[in-house]
A and B are shown apart, each in its own frame.
Chain A
Amino acid sequence: MKRKWNWPIWAGFVVVVAGLVSYGFFTRFPITRDFPWANLLLFGIGIVLLLVGLFRAFGRPQVYRGKIFGSIFTTIAVLVVALFSYEMFYVLRQVPASAGAPRVGQKAPDFLALDQNGKPVGLGDLLSNSKGVLVIFYRGFW
């Protein structure tokens, strides 16, 4: 007898992959970037679906397919979630302390650098005719 298609395994795996690839999209919004709850939510839904599928595959193997590929997909999904969590909750938090950074009340160190047109711009230029400057250091696009 042909066994039934075990859709929760496929759906769960697709949702976990979606949770990973949507990270770039969700970083566009501070509310989903500061804490990646949207991605974690997708991971959670995906894992639950995978477990439902596995439960069916192992509980009623004569009815449902998916003992082998269900196990493989679930293992991959768990690894994806583990790597994502390691990146989010460990790697991204390895930021230097910057104990010597200028503090509130101190004079900001002067600088002179080329802008995007190759024109030299100094801090003094930015401060002239302005009420202040917001200096944003960023990692760069490389």
Chain B
Amino acid sequence: MRSFQQRLPDFEARGIRVVGISVDPPDVNQRHLQKLGYTFPLLSDPNAKIIRRYDVLHPAAGPKGADIARPAEFLLDSNGIVRWVNLTDNIAVRARPDQVLEALSQLSAAGQ
């Protein structure tokens, strides 16, 4: 997410909002945003309801066997339609901003 913060101006210039979702409570998110200097919002899904709805649950992968989210990125258009998805098969490998920006360029070139 550090890399997305660094490229946030590129997303803002394209009118794309960036948002993170995890099981962390708002105060943890608040602390980490301040510590890391991220300026995009982090949403709290403590019971993994949204995470389950998107089927990106990683059961018992958190501390004390808690259910958490697996890393996943969804690019939605202004109608809320999914236009690009990244479901990694390796926790250490996440989407890079350039991949998403490239997907955005292709979508706008295709007139979507």
Interface residues of A (CB under 8 A from B): 27-28, 30, 33-34, 36, 88, 92-93, 95-96, 98-111, 113-118, 121, 123-124, 126-127, 130-142
Q: Could you pull out 10 A-B pairs where Cβ atoms are within 8 angstroms?
A: A95-B88, A98-B72, A108-B74, A109-B54, A114-B44, A115-B26, A132-B75, A136-B4, A138-B69, A139-B62
Q: How far is the CA of A119 from the CA of B61 in the complex (A)?
A: 27
| Most chain B C-beta atoms within 10 Å of own C-beta, residue among A124, A134, A142 | A134
Shortest CB distance A61–B (Å): 43
Residue of A nearest to B69 (CB): A137
Given A135-B73, A141-B28: A113 touches B92 (CB 8 Å cut-off): no
Given A30-B3, A92-B90: A140 touches B62 (CB 8 Å cut-off): yes
**Contact bitstring B68-109, A, C-beta under 8 A = 1, else 0:** 111111111111111111011111111110001000100000
Interface residues of B (CB under 8 A from A): 1-4, 11, 14-24, 26, 28-30, 32-33, 41-45, 49-51, 53-59, 61-63, 68-85, 87-96, 100, 104
The reply to whether B91 and A95 form a contact with Cβ atoms under 8 Å apart is yes
Q: How far is the CA of A94 from the CA of B80 in the complex (A)?
A: 30
The reply to whether B29 and A108 form a contact with Cβ atoms under 8 Å apart is no
Shortest CB distance B52–A (Å): 9
Chain B residues within 8 Å of A96, by CB: 56-59, 70
Q: How far is the CA of A142 from the CA of B26 in the complex (A)?
A: 11
Chain B residues within 8 Å of A118, by CB: 26
The reply to whether A113 and B50 form a contact with Cβ atoms under 8 Å apart is yes
Given A101-B72, A104-B82, A117-B26: A139 touches B61 (CB 8 Å cut-off): yes
Q: How far is the CA of A106 from the CA of B26 in the complex (A)?
A: 29
The reply to whether B78 and A140 form a contact with Cβ atoms under 8 Å apart is no
Q: How far is the CA of A100 from the CA of B56 in the complex (A)?
A: 8
Interface pairs A-B: 8 shortest CB-CB: A131-B15, A140-B22, A100-B55, A113-B43, A116-B29, A116-B30, A137-B69, A140-B24
Shortest CB distance B58–A (Å): 6
Chain B residues within 8 Å of A27, by CB: 92
Contact of B44 among A95, A115, A127 (CB under 8 A): A115
The reply to whether A95 and B29 form a contact with Cβ atoms under 8 Å apart is no
Contact of B19 among A124, A136, A140, A142 (CB under 8 A): A136
Q: How far is the CA of A96 from the CA of B96 in the complex (A)?
A: 20
The reply to whether A115 and B3 form a contact with Cβ atoms under 8 Å apart is no
